[in-house]
Structure 1
Amino acid sequence: MAGESRSADKTTNALPDTNERDRFSPARRLSPAGFLPDLKIHPVEDERSNDSRLAYSEPSATSKQWRLNFSTRSALNSIAQAARLELDRGVAFLLMPVFIGAGIVWYFSLTEEPGFLQPTACVLALGLAVIAARGRPRLKLALIAALLCAFGVLAAKFETWRVETLMVGSGISTHVTGRVVALDHMASGRVRLTLDVTGTARPRLYYQPERVRLSARRISSEIGAGSLVSGYARLLPPTGPVRPGGYDYSFQSYFDGIGGSGFFMTDPKPVATAHMPITAQMSAAIENARNAIAARIRRSIGGPEGEIAAALIVGVRAGIPEEINEAMRRTGIYHIISISGLHMALVAGTIMLLLRGAFALFPDFVSRYPVKKYAAFAALATTGAYLIISGMVVAAERSFIMLAVMLVAILFDRAALTVRNLSISALIVMLWSPHEVAGPSFQMSFAATAALVGGYATWADYRAGKTGEGRHAGRPLLFAAPRWMLVVLAGTCATTLIAGSATTLYAAWHFQRVSPLSLIANLAVMPVVSVVVMPFAVLSAIAMPFGADGPFLYVMGKGLSAMIAIAAWLSKHSPIDTIGLVSPQSVLLATIALVIVTMATTRLRWAMLPFAAAALLTVFWVRTPDLLVSENGKLLAMPIGGGELSVNRPRPNGFTLDNWRRAFNAETVIKPEAAHLLGVRLDVGVAASLLPGTSFLCANDFNGLCVARHPSGAIVAWAANAKDAKPACAYASIIVIEDATAQDPCRDKLVMVITARQLARFGSAAVYFDRFAADERPTIRYAVETRYRPWHEHRQFSREARGLAPYRRTHTKQQKKD
């Protein structure tokens, strides 16, 4: 029999003893050791018998090296296979905005303005190279990446040329006539007007800015958007960064088209209105409608809640009290005030929920027609109207583009929340407004959105591979409700953690502050905003044309009261939120890590770990200045240890000082002391006897000479003019003179002298002392490069930059009467 013959032959063909379960298990991968050479096998004689046995010798050095090479080659092959899989899944398209954005950032970081020839030639040459490299895919990908970077440079250059904002070069008083473009009532009671300038007089400005922003104590009730007004005003040029490496306000003003700012010295008066173009009439009508809606909201709700409601519905937020703004900044919920992706998503979600709920009442209609597309189209139209009525600020425009791409994807039966849609949105924003890439709003917005979309994709993949998803189906509502609430709470926590983690480093880099209680504040506030405030804001907007918005605004106001109370309480108990300067290298590394983890779908995601670790390790790899000087030469600030910051003015500029305090991570500001009150005279002996870390000591009621000593031992002096500065040449390491006409009064080359003329030309200054030799010449870094970019060219025309004294105008009786 077959069985007998098989057993009879078991001495030669018997199978080895194995577990039956192993026969059905997957085949094991062969070990590389099975292919190794030099594995010598030879018989070994046993002294006790004549049998031969097989013995294995130790692998040779060549074998060990071959094993290492094989392991390395296998790892590289695995990485190459994953990269090919990523390319097959379309990662090349997802990286397009990354390379274009890199080119844009590189353009704005240049020290001098390039012409059109260089980027255009690069784009053409790289385009031809891409065509020529058709048969070499790796080279072609590298050339495409370079081409996208060059295209980003060209796009940014084109926008800079297209804007070409004329800016006021120096502070001047003139009679301004202009048409009101926007009008904001501020919390201080003043009114801020944005004017399209139609003319100037007494003196007439040769380089007249096209648009200015002026504040007034009060205005006539007849003045509104589209009105032509006239008044005597003080025009000031846009300011530069308050410190080197800080936010450049002249950069933003240039691309916003604002050529100057200031204030009316007399109340502006309406004048006869001339004919306006149709586009100007439409803009004025929208602006007047916004102001009318804001006034209606304020009357209905009242108080700061009414101001916040007006900000959320029509984007008018100038009237929010500063203490509430600061409370929301400290608690990390200030993003709620600015109309952005959160508000657009809540408005669109509310419309889609209402419409789909209404469609559900008609099952026959739902079964025949794509009601989801109808709801998406209605949400798209509603958010477009919301964008228009909110003033079309940049953040709202960017958020609308992102949401519009997702809603259009629904209309074409595509997934809405995908990294591809995010990349399309980023491409549109970058090409429409390239300068936004360099700003904190764009960076934080897309970082948060990318992290949330990536997190959502990961969760969706996890849910798709999870079995037994229907085990909760059919449960009574009483049992399902607690689970649903836990899911919502977990989703809110995850959303806050992901978005907060993605944006924290950018916020710290731009603003030098991090909200320690941000997670708690957002968890407490977001349910109120998502369930009460924004849905009832949408309902009030729908009911407002019928005069039935009162109840909805009432509920919205109660939700805002709860939000304000939570923010105020948490702000009161929040620790210090300043962290000091953050290195740009850390932000760059974190951005690379975020791009990898968001766009990769294979094991290449783990490549983000070294970049993330390096970003965390290099956060504070930046040297803090030893002294900061304002661009007008009036204010100095110097850290003296123990979290204290010494200044030379008894009443310093609050905005500048707050920025510097955050940069220095200082808790206390030490104001100067008057020398005559201490019974001392600022001479060589007194200055030399100052201990390291001594705050400013001033003579002549703070208007003559001020002296302080840095903890390194270097002596800092400030003087109103060269005459007052002359005695400090004997002992000071650096002297700042608030006089544009002053020359260097010191013959000692080791004494660094900064005059108001240098500051007017190159902006605020950061001074670094030698930590080991206080008598060495300090290093100075200015905020503005010597070769001006277009948004800095106006600096060279100021009187101070030309070494002239401030203009003193003699008013005639007629001018005083006007």
Structure 2
Amino acid sequence: MGVPPWMAEPGRAIERWLEAERDQLITWLPVGLGGGIALWFVLPDPVAWGTAILVLVAGGLAGLAAGRGGRAARMLAIGAIAAALGIGLIWVRSDRVAAPVLAGPTFVQLSARVETIEPLVARRLVRLTVRPVGPGQDADGAPVALPGRVRINLAEADAPAALAIGATIKLRARLMPPPLPAVPGAYDFARVAWFGAIGATGRGFSPVVVTVPGRGGAGVRVALSRHIVAQLDGSAGGIAAALATGDVGAISDADAEAMRRAGLAHLLSVSGLHITAAVAATMLIVVRLLALSPWLALHTRLPLIAALAGAAAAIGYTVLTGSQVPTIRSCVAALLVLVALAMGREAMTLRLVATGAIAVMLALPESLAGPSFQLSFAAITAIIALHEHPVVRATFAPHDEGRGRRLLRGAASLLLTGLVVEAALMPIAVYHFHKAGLYGAVANIVAIPLTTFVVMPFEALALLLDTIGLGAPAWWLVQHALDALLWLARGVAHAPGAVRALPAVPDGAFALMVVGGVWIALWRTRWRRIGILPLAVGAIWALTTPSPDILVTGDGRHVAVRTAAGLALLRDRAGDYVRDTLAENGGVDGEPLLLADQPDARCSRDLCLTDVVAHGRAWRVLATRSVYRVPIAEMVAACRRADIVISERGLPRGCTPRWLKLDRSVLARTGGIALTLTTGQMVTVLNPGDRHPWRDPPTLARSTRRFGAAGDQRGVAGGVAAVRFRLPGRGCSER
């Protein structure tokens, strides 16, 4: 066909390789679909999305036309078309969920119908998702347009006893648009809210009045969670509720962080472990009960009936726990396993994982960008790929040996599986949470059997006995088992070197690690080793990425500066969320310092001046600390002596620092900023030309009046009050 001889032999070699891997080719279909979805998140606007679809479809059709008789061209063609389909899926999904978003913060009186109720017991809050009924009213009684769905946090004491799903309530609330990431690499709630059709979020205040009663209760899931929490003390109740319903609101922040640092957070997310336990227990009970009838045992296929009961248990458990992504994936996998067992086929294969991934992406394509999807599928893929390896399969297959050796073999298998899973999850954990646990594999050797064979069976027994009022002894056992689990988590979390903190990982480094890991997991021949190269390059890139020297939140209020003693915050009274976000994205494990306490900083109530040493020189940074304005002459003089000036307000035109000015007008265009002075790199949350819908959503009209956090309007738009302040090293006054 006119192919040069020097190209023919490599082509035949590729065909021989794909022939050897023919059973694995289908597992790359979800990779192509997911690649298209990821490409939509990377490309900036509809023009780029449409162009990518046309190019991929054209390439796919060309491959199909040219690839007759060969696998390589057909595989690339199918992958290109799958990627085009992925772009189309997420594009259509983003348009289907489109809803107006509140334009700016406002206080409003509103009536709304309750959709969901989520108790956050550890924080003494109740989280409501509501649909406003008609427009709201501001403080002057003027109408305020509200989005179709709003998420509101209420204090437990403010939640009325008659609060129920379907009820209509009336309350006051301070609402704001779903926030963008505070700094680059932070949690993007605006994206999550967009796909959840949530147009505003905020805090509600008493009195909360139920004007129309609901259909009764807060739902089966909430009622079951409350019952479980009431039986146990401390965070043990929250963990037990998480195992049964997926509700983690009753776990204290300290214990939740300890579980994450110890590598045990996966136990709090209803996934494969929990679905497997529920299905296995259901099948065992059904088979044992039906086998008591000789006629049924002789005339029916009891395993098939038990499998149907197990499938019903998996579906019911998924619905009960809120149908989260890991649960959906595990439910789909469980159903496929049951079908395979009924057909006499091998159940746990990568094809099963691929089918589950395709099902989730077809229904919820946006879930690909979240850590839940990535962690869930990375874990199960790593486990199956490991145990499909011939050496591992031969080593840990059943042997004719004594009980002691069998236990040692099982413990070694569990340890090896834990190490491989930790290695697979580490890049994802570092990318999303900026931390990596080091002892998770060892902790899971104890935690997984304890949870699977002690906590969950006794919790199920306790709930069953509660129907006749005899569950107390079983709850006592659950309490002590969960106390042991928490003791393990706290001990591992506080062990020296338990967690390694890293700054935000570049997207390119994360992509390389994902490509390398998927390549290693899905292929079976020696060519899988090629995946080590992108995996290693991505890991080195991530590990050598320097921590940012300056972090600025999108509103300009909060600044973190890297000093000789560590990361230090500009404002002394930053909230816990802000402090944690800046520390995590600054690559710090622990509490950040205060800039005013550092010897190389000069801070007053209104301004702070410090030097940041980087790349062989000192950068002078000036930042405002209060809402009060500094006299223009003093501010202009201070700006000229600084390299970088940062303010939450608009700075005068004469303020011209030597390098960079970040005030309200600049930050409105860039969002949060991360500055790395050693490399001269500046990363922003907002980028020119980015047209993803949550970056520039359709907004509702602002209310006629806007208020600050406490309802007052002093000095934000203009200073008229007489105040006193002090510049670093000198004093002056302003009227």
TM-score (norm 1): 0.77
Residues 172, 206 of structure 2: 8 Å contact kept: yes
Which residue type is aligned with residue 522 of structure 1? N
Q: 1:208 Cα shift?
A: 2.5
Alignment match, 1:15? none
- After TM superposition, the structure 1 stretch with the greater mean CA deviation from structure 2, 300-309 or 318-327, is 300-309
Shift of 1:610: 2.6
Q: Retained in 2: the 8 A contact 1:243–1:630?
A: yes
Matching residue within 59, 74, 82 for 1:148: 82
Cα distance change of structure 1 residues 356 and 459 upon mapping to structure 2, 3 Å threshold: farther
Deviation at 1:389? 1.7
Which residue pairs with 1:789 in the alignment?
692
Q: Which residue is 2:219 aligned to?
A: 288
Pick one of 588, 609, 612 that aligns with 2:535.
Answer: 612
Q: 2:205 aligns with which of 256, 265, 274?
A: 265
Residues 35 and 86 in structure 2, CA contact (< 8 A), matched pair in contact too: yes
Counterpart residue type for residue 676 of structure 2: Y
Range that drifts further, 446-455 or 562-571? 562-571
Distance change (3 Å), C-alpha of 1:576 and 1:755: farther
SS in 2 for 1:753: strand
Tell me the alpha carbon deviations over residues 391-417 of structure 1, each in whole angstroms, 9 at most, x when there is no partner.
Answer: 223332233223223223223332220
Tell me: higher relative CO, structure 1 or 2? Use CA pairs within 8 A at least 6 residues apart.
2
- Tell me what 1:55 maps to: none
Aligned pair partner of 1:93 in 10, 18, 26? 26
Match of 1:444 in 2: 375
Using a 3 Å threshold, how does the CA distance of structure 1 residues 765 and 586 change in structure 2: closer, same or farther?
A: closer
Q: Which moved more, 1:110-119 or 1:725-734?
A: 110-119
User: Is 1:709–2:648 an aligned residue pair?
Assistant: no
Letter in 1 for 2:453: V
Alignment match of 2:653 (pick from 721, 727, 744)? 744
Alignment partners' CA distance in 2, 1:122 and 1:363: 64
Equivalent in the alignment of 1:4: none
Shift of 1:127: 6.2
Partner of 2:517: 594
Q: Which residue of 2 aligns with 1:214?
A: 153
Asked if residue 520 in structure 1 is aligned to residue 442 in structure 2, the reply is yes
Aligned to 2:671: 763
**Percent of pairs with identical residues:** 24
Extract unaligned runs of 5+ from structure 1.
1-68, 275-280, 473-479, 675-692, 772-777, 812-818
Name the CA distance, whole Å, in 2 between partners of 1:373 and 1:762.
59
* Superposed counterparts of 1:342-421, under 5 Å: 342-357=273-288, 369-421=300-352
Contact 2:100 2:698 (C-alpha < 8 Å) held by counterparts: no
The one-letter code matched in structure 1 to 2:29 is M
User: Deviation of residue 251 (structure 1)?
Assistant: 0.7
Paired with 1:360 and 1:214, the residues of 2 have a C-alpha distance of 51
By how many angstroms is 1:546 displaced? 4.8
> 1:633–1:759: 8 Å Cα contact kept in structure 2?
yes
Match of 1:199 in 2: 134
Work out whether 1:734 is the aligned partner of 2:644: yes
The answer to whether 1:640 aligns with 2:563 is yes
| Residue aligning to 2:461 | 539
2:200 is equivalent to residue 253 of structure 1:
no
CA 445–201 in structure 1, closer or farther in 2 if over 3 Å, else same: same
Q: CA deviation at 1:386?
A: 1.1
**Whole-angstrom CA distance in 2 between matches of 1:251 and 1:195:** 19
Q: Is the CA contact (8 Å cut-off) linking 1:512 and 1:580 kept in structure 2?
A: yes
Going from structure 1 to structure 2, the CA distance change for 1:344 and 1:743 (only over 3 Å counts) comes to farther
Q: Deviations over 1:675-710 (max 9, x none)?
A: xxxxxxxxxxxxxxxxxx9654222x2xx2211111
Q: Deviations for 1:35-67, whole angstroms, at most 9, x for unmatched residues?
A: xxxxxxxxxxxxxxxxxxxxxxxxxxxxxxxxx
Instruction: Tell me: CA distance 1:641–1:99, structure 2 relative to 1, closer, same or farther (3 Å).
Output: farther
1:637-676 counterparts in 2 under 5 A?
A: 637-642=560-565, 644-666=566-588, 669-673=592-596
Q: Of residues 565, 573, 577 in structure 1, which corresponds to 2:487?
A: 565
Give the one of 223, 226, 244 matched to 2:163. 223
Q: Which residue of structure 2 aligns with residue 718 of structure 1?
A: 623
- C-alpha deviations, 1:409-453, integer Å up to 9, x for none? 223332220111111111111111111111111111111110111
What is the distance in 1 between the residues matched to 2:196 and 2:466?
32
Contact residue 708 and residue 716 of structure 1 kept, 8 A: yes
Aligned to 2:717: none
Q: Quote the residue 1:242 is aligned against.
A: 182
Post-superposition CA distance 1:592-624 (Å, at most 9, x none): 232223222223233333333334433324243
Query: Separation in 2 of the partners of 1:361 and 1:463?
Result: 38
Q: CA deviation at 1:265?
A: 2.7
Give, in whole Å, the separation in 2 of the partners of 1:224 and 1:792: 34
In structure 2, the partner of 1:316 is 247
State the alpha-carbon separation in 2 of the partners of residues 810 and 299 from structure 1.
41
Cα distance in 1 between the residues matched to 2:493 and 2:395: 41
RMSD between aligned alpha carbons?
3.3
Per-residue deviation, 1:264: 1.3
1:219, distance to aligned residue in structure 2 (A) = 1.4
Q: 1:235 deviation in Å?
A: 0.3
Q: For residues 635 and 796 of structure 1, what CA distance do their matches in structure 2 show? A: 26
Distance 1:264 1:540, change over 3 A: same
Aligned partners of 2:599, 2:326: CA distance in 1, in Å?
A: 45
Closer, same or farther: CA 73–201 of 1 in aligned 2, 3 Å: closer
354-363 or 182-191, which deviates more: 354-363
Structure 2 unaligned residues grouped into runs of 5+: 714-735
TM-score under structure 2 length normalisation = 0.86
User: 1 CA distance for matches of 2:688 and 2:65?
Assistant: 41
Cα deviation for residue 757 of structure 1 reads 3.1
CA distance in 2 between partners of 1:370 and 1:725 (Å): 84
Larger Rg belongs to: 1
- The residue type equivalent to 1:311 in the other structure is A
Q: Go from structure 1 to structure 2 and tell me whether the alpha carbon gap of 1:608 and 1:206 turns closer, same or farther (over 3 Å shift).
A: same
- Kept in 2, the 8 Å contact 1:190–1:218? The answer is no
Q: Quickly say closer, same or farther: Cα 1:539–1:465, change in 2 above 3 A.
A: closer
